Chains A and B, each alone.
Chain A
């Protein structure tokens, strides 16, 4: 009987593991890599920068953990932490969904912005969060990023933006589309101030974010294997009525076509950013 019970528990565990996508890795002690299908011990993955130790697949990272990986301990000062949407087009059910998502994920919006240090160098940094409305850009994301850019201009700081986004926040209608213009105009000012902007593209970066600040870095880095594009693959398939080639719209494809500077593995990201920052010290950046 006891053996039966153990069997039952085990089989439940296995089923649950089998149905758990790596991106939902907070459940249970085990996860399954959605790329190589290997069952992985969660702590191993976490220790490996949330990268599959078996195949190197870079799993989605929360903004909180990303900041921990990139910014020196205890130096991050968050800006506009409590900025919320006004539901600009009064879309039914939107505020309830914001509230429930926020409670479930303990995340307030699709981006965290702030100031901090990378190996002692001051930076302004924005980290988008795919766990909140797929990192979509509405007025809060647009405003926080624009505000960060303006702060960076004032303080003469280099700017780093980690992108992950499904595009514009549909529930905010044209107000969200206009955030593309707003953020890009701010990047134009930043550019004219002669400061360094490093854009880092992670899986996935698409739509209105690709078509605004994500593509406007002086230097554009990407994590390996990230989906990066303007139109989503499904939309393209439906339009052209054919299957897309293997590797289409992945980081390696973009590198090949000249749209990004470098592909950087997550475990090397902080050092890589530091090296680039160091090469710009003595320019117009204050550091």
Chain B
């Protein structure tokens, strides 16, 4: 069990087709899930699932990026790569959660926002930006959990929360190690080295202060459930003002640079 996995091993593990996906968590952790569809503007993006459910009797809004386990499922889910309508559906459901005072749980699992002609025509950048802005001020607790591959702005678009948790073998990165290697090392074969240098594992990101908690995978659904309940309990104790102030400061403190006259190597 305790064999040491390097960063690239974790990338492979995080991307495994048979690894639990958003729907598996919904099925195993929540009750009475009622899926809600559509962004009310253009369409229903099947790469993002959202709806209402209960966890231990508490009503919550659940939103997650959904990859498939088979080729057919992946075709249906666009390999977990949302179009703008996916992010806009997520935002609609989050605003609904705020109206009815339900906490929000998001599951992050995407290779990135879909890079397509339609996506650009319908404002992929605007859709992501809008979610970042709106999520920073939603007046209900938000818990975000990276369950597999969290890549780029497409992951962050449902990732602005009060608590950011990662499964022990998930990754969270600015782009894929392959993309990073081909751009910065000019050689996409150096993806293993890139994976290591990019600091994308749960452990790396906990050390960097970007995530709050690592969830072990030995009893995966149970551990995730326990972690959600524990964090909800903590967040529910806070007044809305403190909740929002803490959320702002959480991101405000990441990467402040240093003031000095000279650059030292």
Q: Which of A's residues lie within 8 Å of B, judged by CB?
A: 80, 82-86, 88-89, 91-92, 95-96, 98-99, 102, 138-140, 142-144, 146, 168, 170-182, 184-189, 191-192, 207-208, 210-216, 229-232, 235-236, 239-240, 244-245, 248-249, 257-259
- Beta-carbon contact of B210 and A99 below 8 Å: no
Q: Judge whether B258 is part of the interface by a CB distance below 8 angstroms.
A: yes
- Beta-carbon contact of A229 and B125 below 8 Å: yes
Q: Which residues of A contact B240 (CB under 8 A)?
A: none
Q: Which residues of A contact B124 (CB under 8 A)?
A: 211, 229-231
Question: How many angstroms from the CA of A215 to the CA of B132 in the assembled complex?
Answer: 11
- Beta-carbon contact of A230 and B120 below 8 Å: yes
Q: On chain B, which size bracket covers the interface?
A: 35 or more
Q: Which residues of A contact B210 (CB under 8 A)?
A: 174-175, 178
Q: Which of B's residues lie within 8 Å of A, judged by CB?
A: 113-117, 119-126, 128-130, 132-134, 136-137, 152-153, 156-157, 159-160, 172-175, 180, 183-184, 197-200, 205, 208, 210, 247-248, 251-252, 254-261, 263-265
Question: How many angstroms from the CA of A188 to the CA of B139 in the assembled complex?
Answer: 13
A204 nearest CB across to chain B (Å): 12
B143 nearest CB across to chain A (Å): 15
B204 nearest CB across to chain A (Å): 8
Closest to A207 in B: B153
- Excluding A102-B263, A211-B132, 6 further A-B contacts by CB distance (< 8 Å) are A80-B259, A138-B255, A173-B173, A176-B255, A185-B248, A185-B251
- Beta-carbon contact of B133 and A210 below 8 Å: no
Q: Which residues of B contact A83 (CB under 8 A)?
A: 257-259
B2 nearest CB across to chain A (Å): 26
- Beta-carbon contact of B200 and A173 below 8 Å: yes
Closest to B256 in A: A143
A257's partner among B121, B152, B157, B252 (CB-CB below 8 A) is B121
13 interchain pairs (CB within 8 A)?
A: A86-B258, A95-B264, A99-B265, A173-B199, A175-B255, A177-B156, A179-B255, A185-B132, A185-B133, A211-B128, A211-B132, A239-B115, A257-B121
Q: Which residues of A contact B174 (CB under 8 A)?
A: 168, 170, 173-174, 176-177
A138 nearest CB across to chain B (Å): 7
B149 nearest CB across to chain A (Å): 14
B261's partner among A82, A138, A181 (CB-CB below 8 A) is A82
- Beta-carbon contact of A215 and B137 below 8 Å: no
Q: Which residues of B contact A232 (CB under 8 A)?
A: 115
Q: Which residues of A contact B254 (CB under 8 A)?
A: 139, 175, 178-179, 182
Question: How many angstroms from the CA of A249 to the CA of B184 in the assembled complex?
Answer: 25
Question: How many angstroms from the CA of A159 to the CA of B211 in the assembled complex?
Answer: 31
A240's partner among B116, B156, B183, B265 (CB-CB below 8 A) is B116
Q: Which residues of A contact B251 (CB under 8 A)?
A: 178, 181-182, 185
- Beta-carbon contact of A235 and B265 below 8 Å: no
B190 nearest CB across to chain A (Å): 12
Closest to A92 in B: B197
B129's partner among A102, A139, A214 (CB-CB below 8 A) is A214
Q: Which residues of B contact A173 (CB under 8 A)?
A: 173-174, 198-200
A210's partner among B129, B175, B261, B264 (CB-CB below 8 A) is B129
A192's partner among B137, B197, B198 (CB-CB below 8 A) is B137
Question: How many angstroms from the CA of A213 to the CA of B136 in the assembled complex?
Answer: 13
Question: How many angstroms from the CA of A194 to the CA of B132 in the assembled complex?
Answer: 19
- Beta-carbon contact of B152 and A177 below 8 Å: yes
Contacts A89-B199, A139-B255 given; does A239 touch B116 at CB 8 Å: yes
Q: Which residues of B contact A140 (CB under 8 A)?
A: 257
Contacts A175-B254, A180-B156, A235-B115 given; does A82 touch B133 at CB 8 Å: no
B150 nearest CB across to chain A (Å): 9
B262 nearest CB across to chain A (Å): 8
Contacts A95-B265, A173-B198, A174-B208 given; does A215 touch B125 at CB 8 Å: yes
Closest to A144 in B: B257
A282 nearest CB across to chain B (Å): 26
Q: Which residues of A contact B115 (CB under 8 A)?
A: 230-232, 235-236, 239
- Beta-carbon contact of A248 and B120 below 8 Å: yes
Most-contacted residue by chain B among A91, A170, A181, A235 (CB, 10 A) = A181
B133's partner among A88, A216, A240 (CB-CB below 8 A) is A216
Q: Which residues of B contact A142 (CB under 8 A)?
A: 255
- Beta-carbon contact of B133 and A143 below 8 Å: no
Q: Which residues of A contact B183 (CB under 8 A)?
A: 170
- Beta-carbon contact of A181 and B156 below 8 Å: yes
Shortest beta-carbon contacts, A-B, top 6? A139-B255, A231-B115, A210-B125, A185-B136, A184-B132, A230-B125
- Beta-carbon contact of A174 and B116 below 8 Å: no
Closest to B128 in A: A211
A52 nearest CB across to chain B (Å): 26
- Beta-carbon contact of B117 and A240 below 8 Å: yes
Most-contacted residue by chain A among B129, B157, B173 (CB, 10 A) = B129
Question: How many angstroms from the CA of A182 to the CA of B254 in the assembled complex?
Answer: 8
